[in-house]
Amino acid sequence: MSALLELTDLRRHFPVRDALGRRRGAVRAVDGVSLSVAEGEVLAVVGESGCGKSTLGRLALRLDDPDEGGIRFDGQDLRVMAPAELRRQRRHMQMIFQDPYASLDPRMTVGQAVAEPLRLHGLVPRAGERARVAELLARVGLRPEHADRWPHEFSGGQRQRIAIARALASGPRLIVGDEPVSALDVSVQAQVINLLQDLIREFRLAFILISHDLAVVRHVADRVVVMYLGRIVEEAPAGRLFSAPRHPYTRALLASVPGAGVKAAPLQGDLPSPIDPPPGCRFHTRCPHAQPVCRERDPPLAAGTTAESPGHLAACHFQDTLPPAAPAADHPGGGERLARLQAFFAPKPDIGTAA
């Protein structure tokens, strides 16, 4: 697969000023990140608050300008692109946000919101607009007559479907979803996840999923990058990352997800300040495996000699010698009985009855 989007050594530092406006350092939100996404691929960016994942998503679409680094979309350098050309490119690059209550204009009907990208990019003649909007609404599981209603008349799940229809309207090739299902209740979240997966396959979308929810990421992503204090600490095909994590931070994150029967917290303390990240390996202050070298040398993101997949990179001096990751604890799963009962809840195709 060739990369549709390629980010190289991106940096974005937000200056921090004191009360008198003097510069007092900078938040290193993104501090040297390289990654690529191919057509039809779901790349998940995971990490905790302040790790830089949302800033990275905005940089990827050039909604924010990096201080350094390259952004190539379909081979073209977005950083040197003229504004008019960049606007034309935007039809191929869309974003879905976490809060569907905040991302839709309350003064626009659903139809107007979905039609806006069509007009902006002159994609459909006015006469055909209504039909195209109806088509898009149907594709996300809403009914054509919903076009004449207002955002406040819809539930959170329905609003997120509207936001998805709007993102699809311009026929994008890349979508960045910043916590797109995090605000939804679990049963509605499952419906929206199923919808997104169908759309990604149908349109061969490149999808960057920014999420803190590791179970959702494991379910959806093809490849995962884990960020910590503005850096990628591990990158791997999703199957490998979850079955054989090679960075202590990834392991701690996985062990922290409730439901695996783990009672004791795997990490103590809080995230260090991104204004003044620790020297050497940024994770060494919280790492149970830290050695003196970790305080001095910053480990590169590289494939270790014992990695089973060449695409499995970790930024840890000891990735080859860490004890094997603790296997996922045996979950008190419901086994066959539960699976058979759940089969009755198998999803039906979306036909305008969405929640």
Partner 1 sequence: MTTPPTANPPPALEVRDLSVTFATERGPLRVLDGIGFRLQAGRTVALVGESGCGKSVASLAVMGLLPPSAAIAGTIRLEGREIAELPPDARRKLRGADLAMIFQEPMTSLNPAFTAGDQVAEALRLHQGLDRAAAMRAAVAMLEAVRIPEAARRARQYPHQLSGGMRQRVMIAMALACRPRILIADEPTTALDVTVQAQILSLLDDLRARTGTAVLLITHDLGVVADHADDVVVMYAGRVAETGPAAQVLATPQHPYTVGLLGAAPRLDGPRGTRLATVEGTVPDLANPPEGCRFKARCPFRIPVCDTVPPLREIAPGHSSACHRAPLESVLEAAA
- 171/261 with CB nearer partner 1: 261
Does residue 102 belong to the site contacting partner 1 (CB under 8 A)?
no
Q: Which of 17, 128, 340, 352 binds partner 1 (CB under 8 A)?
A: 340
Choice from 55, 189, 250, 319 touching partner 1 (CB under 8 A): 189
Is residue 193 a contact residue for partner 1 (CB under 8 A)? yes
Binding mask 202-241 for partner 1 (x = CB under 8 A): ----------x-xxx-xxx-----------------xx--
- Shortest distance (Å) from residue 239 CB to partner 1: 7
Angle at 104 between CA 101 and CA 108, to 5 degrees: 130
Find the part of the chain contacting partner 1 (CB under 8 A) among 29-37, 89-97, 170-178, 267-275: 267-275
HEC assignment per residue over 178-198: ECCCCCCCHHHHHHHHHHHHH
Bridge partner residues of 35 (DSSP):
7
CB of 207 to partner 1, least distance (A): 13
252 binds partner 1 (CB under 8 A): yes
Secondary structure (DSSP) of 285-310: TT-TT--HHHHH-PPP-EE-TT-SST
Write down the least CB distance from residue 96 to partner 1, Å: 18
Q: How many residues bind partner 1 (CB under 8 A)?
A: 62
Burial 166-178 (b: 16+ CB within 10 A, else e): bbbbbebbbbbbb
CB-neighbour burial class of residue 3 (10 A; exposed 0-12, middle 13-18, buried 19+):
middle
Question: Site for partner 1 (CB under 8 A): which residue of 54, 98, 170, 191?
Answer: 191
**Assigned token pair, 286:** 């919280």
DSSP state of 33: E
Closest CB to partner 1 among 215 and 275? Answer: 215
Q: Residue 181 to residues 96, 155, 157, 257, 344: CA-CA distances in angstroms?
A: 10, 13, 9, 17, 24
Q: Which of 259, 279, 311, 352 binds partner 1 (CB under 8 A)?
A: 259
Question: How many Å apart are CA 239 and CA 221, to the nearest integer?
Answer: 9
For residues 64 and 26, what is the distance between their CA atoms, to the nearest angstrom?
Answer: 16
Residue 331 engages partner 1 in binding (rule: CB under 8 A): yes
Q: Does residue 285 bind partner 1 (CB under 8 A)? A: no
Chosen residue from 38, 138, 244, 262 binding partner 1 by CB under 8 A: 262
> Do the Cβ atoms of 355 and 158 come closer than 8 Å?
yes
Binding site for partner 1 (CB under 8 A): 48-49, 155, 185-191, 193-194, 197, 212, 214-216, 218-220, 238-239, 242, 252-271, 328, 331-335, 337-338, 340-348, 353, 355
